[in-house]
Structure 1
Amino acid sequence: MTLIIDHRSPSRTHRALIWLEAQLSRASEAVARHRREYASRRTAREIARLPFDVRKDIGWPARDTTTRELH
């Protein structure tokens, strides 16, 4: 087995590509998080539109039993 180690410092272009990749990764994570949160809110709205008996059967909490935060 051969191991080759390059001790040269990365070029300016290589460092820029590494930085760009990190930025794109962060942006991709933010988009994915936004999509998950949107889907969660959409699901909650759809469940809230169901009749009370159906929500009760699936174990969805009633609106009047949730605690409201004082602003």
Structure 2
Amino acid sequence: MQNGLNYFPHTSSLARVEAIQQELEQLKKALAHQVGGTKGRTKLKGLWKGIEVTEEDMEEAKKAIFKDAFTFI
């Protein structure tokens, strides 16, 4: 089996190709961003407008999130 250096005898050419590939990826992302535009962020205030969160809701959420947090003790 050949080592990597013998397999790619022109490492400078390979490095140039990789640099071009990276630049193409960046250009592709930039173009996709321009064509697709940016999606506006959904603001939580608008998303949850009219919803009231009670202390009971908060306690239930804490229990759901941390139910297994201390089982290793």
Q: Which bin holds the TM-score, normalised by the shorter protein? A: 0.3 to 0.5
* TM-score of the two chains, using structure 2 as the length reference: 0.40
Greater RCO (Cα-Cα under 8 Å, separation 6 or more): 1
Q: Which has the larger radius of gyration?
A: 2
User: What's the TM-score once normalised by structure 1's chain length?
Assistant: 0.41
